[in-house]
Amino acid sequence: MRPTLFATLLLLFLPLAVRAHVGSLNVVYETQVPPVPMRVIIRPPGVVPGLADIDVRVLTNGVKRVTVLPVHWRAGVAGSPPPDVAMPVEGEPSLYHAELWLMARGAYSVHVEVETTDGTAKVIVPVNSLATTRLPMTSGLGGILVALGGLLFVLAVSIVGAAVRESVLTPGLEPSS
């Protein structure tokens, strides 16, 4: 009786002990695989298209070059742009930073390649690109769009009016000015 009661209480209170962070689209990827252990942090943009911040911390010395490449699932590696070189962050000897454009929503894989004196390592980090914020429109742009919409409406009414006037003419007659 006691083991069953203990197991039941454990199952009831287990969800209270479990924690998770929900709501962040940031991606953290860490690998300790030789020859280049590294940690990659990707902060996707809030709007699409937008710039994603990529930080690569290389956990070894002798880094020659760090490159990052965004690959959309539909385009593949062949349809992707050339990789960008991540620049070293001033004051942080093992941290490299790059900004990449994520041009379409959907699944991306960011290919991170680190070249060191000991060898080269390449990791593929999955990232989802989706709009999480909406940028506000300035009042000036809103006014311009309203004016252009009014102009389009007036032009559409004049086209319909001309079509109605000419539709009642007998064939072969020229419309008056």
Together in a domain, 163 and 120:
no
Number of domains composing the chain: 2
Q: What is the helix (H) or strand (E) element at residue 95, kind and residue range?
A: strand 95-102
Together in a domain, 34 and 112:
yes
How does 139-161 read in b/e, with b if 16+ C-beta sit within 10 Å?
A: eeeeeeeeeeeeeeeeeeeeeee
Together in a domain, 112 and 173:
no
Taking each continuous run of H as one helix and of E as one strand, the counts in the chain are 2, 9
Range of the structural domain that residue 165 is part of: 136-177
Together in a domain, 115 and 162:
no
Residue numbers in the chain where pLDDT is lower than 50: none
The predicted structure's pLDDT at residue 114: 93
The predicted structure's pLDDT at residue 21: 63
Which of these three, 108, 129, 150, is where a domain ends? Answer: 129
Together in a domain, 78 and 7:
yes
The predicted structure's pLDDT at residue 132: 84
Together in a domain, 100 and 166:
no
Query: What pTM does this model have?
Result: 0.67
pLDDT, tens only, 61-103: 889 999 999 999 988 889 889 999 999 999 998 999 999 999 9
CATH of the domain at 65: 2.60.40.10
Together in a domain, 81 and 118:
yes
The predicted structure's pLDDT at residue 66: 95
The predicted structure's pLDDT at residue 96: 96
- Within 8 A by CB and 6+ apart from 111, the residues are 68, 69, 71, 77, 83, 122, 123, 124
